[in-house]
Amino acid sequence: MDLPVLDGLEVYERAARLAADTGQHLFDTLYHAVALSRPGASLVTADERYYRAARDAGRLIRLIDVA
């Protein structure tokens, strides 16, 4: 698969803001930051704790809700 790589400073900055705003680990917020940086992308997560903490940031879907 030829997948794009996002590693620009803006992704790291967004992830750091998400981590600070939600109290979640930076590692977890990196995936969400990438989804927020790609038009039409969303992060699908099975982590209920992360979902509750970060859902207000948008573009976050619980795995249980995926049909």
Domain extent listing, the chain: 9-65
Higher-pLDDT residue of 35, 3: 35
With a cut of 80, say whether residue 3 has pLDDT above it: no
Q: Count CB atoms within 10 A of the CB of residue 33.
A: 24
Q: What is the pTM of this model?
A: 0.88
Q: Residue 43: its pLDDT value, please? A: 96
- Tell me 52's DSSP state: H
What does the CA dihedral 50, 16, 42, 38 come to, rounded to 10 degrees?
-170
Model confidence over 21-62: pLDDT tens digits? 999 999 989 999 999 999 999 999 999 999 999 999 999 999
